[in-house]
Amino acid sequence: MSRRGLHVRIFAGALAAALAAAGCAPRNYYVTTQSQLDSLLVVQGDIVRRLNGLDRKIESTRQNVQTTRASSDSRLTEVVQRLEVLEGKLEASDVRFTQLSQKVDTVKHKLTSADSARFAAGAAVDSTGGADPEAMYQAAYSDYLAGRFDLARAAFAEYLRRYPDTEVSDNAQYWIGECLYATGDFAGAIAEFERVSQKHPKGDKVPAALLKTGVAYSRLRNMDEAKRYYQKVIQRFPKTDEARLARERLAQKP
């Protein structure tokens, strides 16, 4: 039951009670009662108007809330849809970027990994139609820097087979040792480092080869041989960086 109906029923009950009392009451009591009833009617009318006003406000507020909620839901839906579109575009961009990066890496790998193989097969030629020694050396060195140690070792070996006595032949021999050292073949590295001094005793890579021989022996837990090679570096090339490093290693505690 609404509040308006409740108040009307209360008013009707009061009116009936007043009329019943008037039948057995004196005339002056009837007049007083009539006045009170008139006052009740005025009050009841005012209450009804207020209730009607409140009902209208409540209905208006409810409609505003529904409108606002509908508008908010619509905006939220639109924002969510836009975010989904942006996420889809971002994912598509990530996929394209990944694919492009993979293609670039593949091309780079094919180009660089093929360098030393081509040069070792005689693909590097100079203007006279012969093999280009500088290009062969640089290709092998590029493989070494890229971590392709097996390719680099084979390319340096081919370089030495063709050019055993150039300004960088001692370097090529040294890098063969470094390739083996990098793959954990310390004994093989020692043999290649020793060939630097044997085949190129005046080469500028001799100090580095002696030092790295000592380092390789230390990796094999042969500290006596390691110290012997460190001392060789210090005695033969005392003013070099390799001698400084050898001193530092000798000063280290076991």
Mean pLDDT of 23-41: 63
User: Where exactly are the structural domains of the chain?
Assistant: 3-71, 121-251
pLDDT tens per residue across span 202-227:
999 999 999 999 999 999 999 999 99
| Interval 230-250: pLDDT, tens | 999 999 999 999 999 999 999
Write down the pLDDT at residue 30. 55
Task: Quickly name the fold that domain 121-251 has.
Answer: 1.25.40
What pLDDT, on the 0 to 100 scale, is given for residue 107? 39
What confidence tens digit (pLDDT) does each residue in 135-158 have?
999 999 999 999 999 999 999 999
3-state secondary structure 169-215: HHHHHHHHHHHHHHCCCHHHHHHHHHHHHHHCCCCCCHHHHHHHHHH
Rounded to whole angstroms, how far apart are CA atoms 252 and 67?
A: 81
For residue 162, is pLDDT > 90? yes
Residue 90 CA to residue 73 CA, distance in Å, equals 25
Which residues is 125 bridged to in the sheet? 131
In this prediction the pTM is 0.53
pLDDT for position 242: 96
Coil/strand/helix, residue 125 = strand
Please report the pLDDT score of residue 14 as a whole number.
Answer: 53
Tokens matching residue 161: 């087979």
Check: CB of residue 140 under 8 Å from CB of residue 121.
no
CA separation for the pair 53, 46 (Å, rounded): 11
What is the percent of the chain where pLDDT is above 70?
67
Dihedral angle, C-alpha 231, 237, 242, 247, nearest 10 °: 40
Q: What is the pLDDT of residue 2?
A: 53
Residue type, 201: P
